[in-house]
Structures are given as structure tokens and as C-alpha cells.
Amino acid sequence: MRREWLVEPLAPEVERALDRLARADDVAAIAVLPDVHLSDEVCVGVAVATRRRLIPAALGGDLGCGMEALRLGGDADLLRDPQVRARVLDGLRRAVPARMQRGGTGPPVLPEPLRGRLAASPACTRRLERDAAREFATLGRGNHFLELQRDEEGALWLAVHSGSRALGPALGAFHRRSAPRDRAGFEGLDAESDAGRAFLADVALACDFAAASRAAMVDATCAVLSEQLGVAPEPASRIACVHNCVRRETLGGEEFWIHRKGAMPAAAGEAGVVPGSMGTLTFHVEGRGCADALHSSAHGAGRALPRGEARRRIAPRELLRQMRGVGFDEALARALVEEAPSAYKDVRAVMRAQRELVKVVRTLTPLLVHKGA
């Protein structure tokens, strides 16, 4: 069974990728979400249900990628002054680096809940203890971002989108190397085998790393904003969601493994965050629990242009025009053209296409964006 919630007709290459996925062993249902676009073997913007088989390609490389949002105890007008925005952005660049942390007097140390965790592969455990520790609480590049936003009532909000950095892809690659392929060419693991249990443990490790990393970036941002604006976070407002993961869920009285690649869980009442692109609206939502959509929704706007095409078609001057009124590091304009709003679908159209999947709780407008390049 395949159900679709679309902004526009599927491109032929997307249709072919979905047809191939439907032929994979043990695939019981596929939900195609309005942010769907081509990416490697399995499209971004897809949820897949299996009964027993785990399909690593259906999770994406950045295991645990997700979002965290938090209301800050202050008025968004505090960022109206361009000089204030510039000082805040400078503080964020120092407090939340985009790339690997360097310096210090000794080897990097992970926070206590992650310390001593072992991956299935000794090489991945070494990566966790070395590279992942240096990448902890760093933003990354691509579509990852940290953004200050204004809600309809003028309140100031923070949103962070990041993942497991190099750890997630390394864990996924390790398990795919040893997994047998099915008739459609996808690697798969029996969830009840030792290999399947090891894969699930490593997915949980990547998700825990990514969530702790986002929380640390939120704390670092709140410290900057306390110093610069005199505002404090409101912990009860926190929203957290994950985009690239697999979990056991019940649909229609039957249990399935629900794989999500660039898709957000949207069970009835489940809170989530659906961002647009750099410089466009973000929506806080509650899931409606649509079983046909595998209790899932779009995780964002979804790309309209592949990165290479965006670099060819969008000039830095055009990015600056599209970002007018939103603060960001304009020195990075040339490097960030592939993240321009016009490189993505219209997030408002995405939200209209998935009205039966989520309910909009809050609409937020961007004020200041921190991204890596």
C-alpha cells in the first residue's frame, strides 16, 4: 500500500525510487509526504512500515537528525536593532560552532549519559570517543541551522535543527556492509536477530547523541541571549522531534517497524516542528494520528532544486534579496546559495497538502539565522 500527500506531481526519478522501495522485502506500506524529493536510494520525505525487517537505507545517513524549539522569556522586538542582531549573531558563532570543536587541554569528553557507550563496531566506538566528542554541540552544515523566531503574539523563540554529525553515517555504513540484499537491492536486517538488535542499539546511540547535542546547543544559545538580551528560556515550552529514525509502533492493531527518512512522527497529539527554508516560516504542530500516513508528516519544506542546480541558478545577490529583513552572516552568501528559500518548496503549500496529518498550533517568522558553510 502506498499513500501520497503531495504539493505537485512526482518527478519520474522519484516515482522510480518509490516503485523500487515498494518491491523491497517485507515492505507493508509507504507514506509519501509533501516534502518528498530524491536522495540516494530512498527519497527524503518518506515513511516505511515493515513487520520484521529493518532497512537501513530507509533511515538516511544522518541518524537522529531532528529539531528542538524553545520559547524565550522576552519580546522579539529586542532583535529589531541591526546592531543588536549583529552582536547576537557574533555570540552564536562563538558559542555554537558549525564545525568540529578544537583546542582544549586534553582529549574531548562526551557528556555523562553518552560516556562509555559502545557501538557494535570498535571503529565506530573510537569515532564516538574521538571525532564525535569534538563534534558534540556543533551545528554542522547543509540544511542544519539555529534560528531565532517571532510568533504571532510577538514572543521570541529558538529553533535548532541538527543531527548526529559524522557518527550517524559511520554507524549506518557499518551495518549496511554486513547486511544481505533483497530482490530490490536493499540491505536488510531481521529485527529479532543479533545483527538487527545491534543495529537498533546503534540507531538509539546516534539518536541519543543528536538529541543531547541539540540540547547543549540550546543551552549555549540561551547563555548568549541571557547576556545580550537579558532573556531566559521557558522550559515548559520545549518541543523536540526526530526525523531520521525507526521505532516500533501499532497501526490498526498490528505492530510495525516505522522507518522515517526526512519524516516526522505525528501520532495523535504528538508535538512537532516543521521548518521552511532559511528565511521562511516555521510551524509548530500537533499530529492528528493519520494511520494511512503511518502517523507521520513532512519534516520541512523539502528541496525544489538539487544542490548543484541551486548553486548554478541562484546568485549571492539573489540570496541577499530573498533574505531581506532576516539577519544572517552575509559574508557566507556565496556558500549558502544552495540553502536559499527558492531552492526549497513553499512550506505553506506543504502544510496545506498535509492538513489531515497535522494541526498547526503556532506560526513563526524568522528574525536571525545562524548556519554553517
Where residue 68 falls (left for φ over 0; alpha for ψ -120 to 50; beta otherwise) is beta
Is 31 within 8 Å of 1 (Cβ atoms)?
no
Domains of the chain, earliest start first: 2-304+344-370 (3.90.1860.10)
Say what the pLDDT of residue 76 is: 95
Residue 304's nearest CA partner among 34, 65, 48 is 34
Per-residue pLDDT tens, the chain, 373 aa: give them.
Answer: 899 999 999 999 999 999 999 999 999 999 999 999 999 899 999 999 999 999 999 998 899 999 999 999 899 999 999 999 999 999 999 999 988 766 555 556 788 888 888 898 898 888 888 888 889 999 998 899 999 999 999 999 999 999 999 999 999 999 999 899 999 999 999 999 999 999 999 999 999 999 999 999 999 999 999 999 999 999 999 999 999 999 999 999 999 999 999 999 999 999 999 999 988 999 999 999 999 999 999 999 999 999 999 999 999 999 999 999 999 999 999 999 999 999 999 999 999 999 999 999 999 999 999 998 8
In this structure, the number of other CB atoms found within 10 A of the CB of residue 11 comes to 13
What is Dmax (Cα atoms) for the chain? 59
- Judged by DSSP in three states, 369 sits in strand
Q: What type of residue sits at position 139?
A: L
Place of cell 521505532: 247
Q: Where are the beta strands (DSSP E) in 104-144?
A: none
Cβ partners under 8 Å of residue 322, min gap 6: 279, 340, 341, 342
Say what the pLDDT of residue 102 is: 61
How far is CA 161 from each of CA 69, 78, 279, 369, rounded to the nearest angstrom? 9, 23, 14, 11
Q: State the DSSP string of 261-327.
A: ESEEE--TT-EEEEE-STTS-EEEEEE---GGGTTEEE-S--BSS-HHHHHHH--HHHHHHHTTTSB
How far is CA 110 from each of CA 68, 107, 131, rounded to the nearest angstrom? 20, 10, 10
| Residue 259: active-site member | no
Say what the pLDDT of residue 108 is: 67
The secondary structure of residue 140, as a DSSP letter, is -
- Parallel/antiparallel/unpaired status of strands 2-4 and 27-37: parallel
How far is CA 192 from each of CA 28, 63, 127, 254, rounded to the nearest angstrom? 18, 20, 27, 17
Cβ partners under 8 Å of residue 321, min gap 6: none
Say what the pLDDT of residue 127 is: 82
Say what the pLDDT of residue 107 is: 59
Say what the pLDDT of residue 104 is: 53
Is 318 within 8 Å of 275 (Cβ atoms)?
no
- Judged by DSSP in three states, 95 sits in helix
- Parallel/antiparallel/unpaired status of strands 53-54 and 66-75: unpaired
Reported pTM = 0.94
Rg (CA), the chain: 20
Place of cell 552544515: 141
